[in-house]
Amino acid sequence: MDGDKHVLAVNNLTGRTLVLNRPQALNSLTLPMVQTIERHLKNWEHSELCNVVMLRSNSPKAFCAGGDVVQVSREWKSGNKAEAMKFFQTEYMVNHYIASYKKPVVAMLDGYTMGGGVGLSMHAAFRVASQSAVFAMPETKIGFFPDVGATFFLPRLDGHMGVYLGLTGQMLKGRDLLYSGIATHYVPSERHAMLEQRLQGLGSSDYDVVNDAIEEFVAQPEDGPMEYSLYHVREAIDRCFQHNSLESIIHALEEEKQHSNEHTSAWAQTTLDQLSRMSPSSLKLTLEQLRRGAQLNIQQAFALELGLAEKRLESHDMHEGIEALLVRKTNDPQWDPKSLEDVNVHEMNAEYFTAKYAYKPKFVHDQAAFSEYPHKYGLPSEKEIAALISGENPQAGNFRLTRDDVLQFYEREYGGKIGVKQKVGWVFDNLENN
């Protein structure tokens, strides 16, 4: 069975590890692989011998570079629509299962983590990124939309960063994942094997105990400026991607290019170039999807994505994008409609968001319909930090805290977690400078 060949199960002491083993395809997920993952997760969840589940790759190049959408497109075009939709239905079920799993799940991210790989990792309580981890959701580039629960998790990232990442497919690397909230910990790849061994012998399903064990392997930041590729452009991202239409976003980027400093001006031009290569209909669909996602619980988010996947498979752009970028590899998709101006938002909303969907999602834990993830072991969000600095957080009392007060508060609240000092200091400096 291909699923068993491409997903290996490792049992050691009280730890269980799923190893993605399709390196020739950068571990792109197939339906048999997803079904194998589901089978093992179900067995381990009910096993008294298993305390912690880990996910990793056998290749340093990629944790998982996405789903095998080439095969999905072929199934759909050949008339086997039910099989094509079965892939998404099963994938989303497994994504939700990981989000609601009854035992700690630790995803170890090394190399490319995109699309389907993000779905396997982002919903885990613990997401451990290495220096070579690369995150991206590049679906608009192939005429699709950010799925695998992105409707839920992208709007919950700092500010409007999720919309930026979802529209542009921008890559984040290494410590970027920690500071943006995508990863909960940063552990160099050479320590991953030791970390896996530590968790295998931990003998506990207590989330705090697992967190403390991971923290033993975390690397200290280098001295000097914060290692965050968005350091100089975070505020510009919010200024430009706060808008509710692509036209307004592009206008804001044009303004940023003309009237900003060299960092943000160059970033604005790069971002405009990125957007110009994407499917216009995918861009408008994605913006609407993520705006709605901010108000949806996790089950509603997956239900919406399954419906959007069905409608997108009926479109021209998804198959054209897959053919041009992944099959022909000519990178010259002929989008239809060709421009943003040709995409009627009202017609799009009627087609994608108010129409009835033929396929319904399935959930292993059908009562798990939360609006926020149940476990939070990453860094504090920018919003949380800003609320404490401004005094809006009741824990701050009735006065504005100093920089040292804020740092001490978060060092205490997060038990000296590595990365907290850097992020809190950065947010404080941004607020002080505005």
Please give the Cα distance from 360 to 342 (Å, whole number): 31
Question: Is residue 182 within 8 Å of residue 127, measured between CB atoms?
Answer: yes
Alpha-carbon distance values, 387 to 19, 156, 161, 304, 378 (Å): 41, 16, 18, 32, 18
Please give the Cα distance from 190 to 131 (Å, whole number): 10
116 as an active site residue: the answer is yes
Q: Which of 3, 67, 111, 162 is catalytic?
A: 67
Determine the residue type at 420.
Answer: V
* DSSP category for residue 323: I
Tallying the residues shown for the chain, one arrives at: 434
391 as an active site residue: the answer is no
Q: Are strands 134-136 and 172-173 parallel, antiparallel or unpaired?
A: antiparallel
Please, which residues have CB within 8 angstroms of residue 410's CB and are 6 or more apart in sequence? 380, 385, 388, 420, 421, 424
Determine the residue type at 227.
Answer: E
* DSSP category for residue 327: I
Q: Tabulate helix, strand, coil % of the chain (nearest 5).
A: 55, 10, 40
Query: 292 is written with which tokens?
Result: 């709605």
Q: Which of 68, 91, 147, 158 is catalytic?
A: 147
67 as an active site residue: the answer is yes
Q: Which of 68, 139, 227, 320 is catalytic?
A: 139
* DSSP category for residue 190: G
Determine the residue type at 168.
Answer: T
Question: Is residue 115 within 8 Å of residue 66, measured between CB atoms?
Answer: yes
Q: Are strands 126-129 and 105-109 parallel, antiparallel or unpaired?
A: parallel
Bond from prior residue into 337 cis (ω within 30 degrees of 0)? yes
Q: Which of 15, 115, 116, 169 is catalytic?
A: 116
The β-bridge partners of 64 are 113
Determine the residue type at 404.
Answer: D
Query: 60 is written with which tokens?
Result: 């340093």
Neighbours of 85 (CB within 10 A): 20
3-class secondary structure per residue, 394-434: HHHCCCCCCHHHHHHHHHHHCCCCCCHHHHHHHHHHHHHCC
* Selection from 278, 259, 277 nearest residue 268 by Cα: 259
Alpha-carbon distance values, 157 to 138, 290, 376 (Å): 17, 11, 13
The catalytic site residues sit at: 67, 116, 139, 147
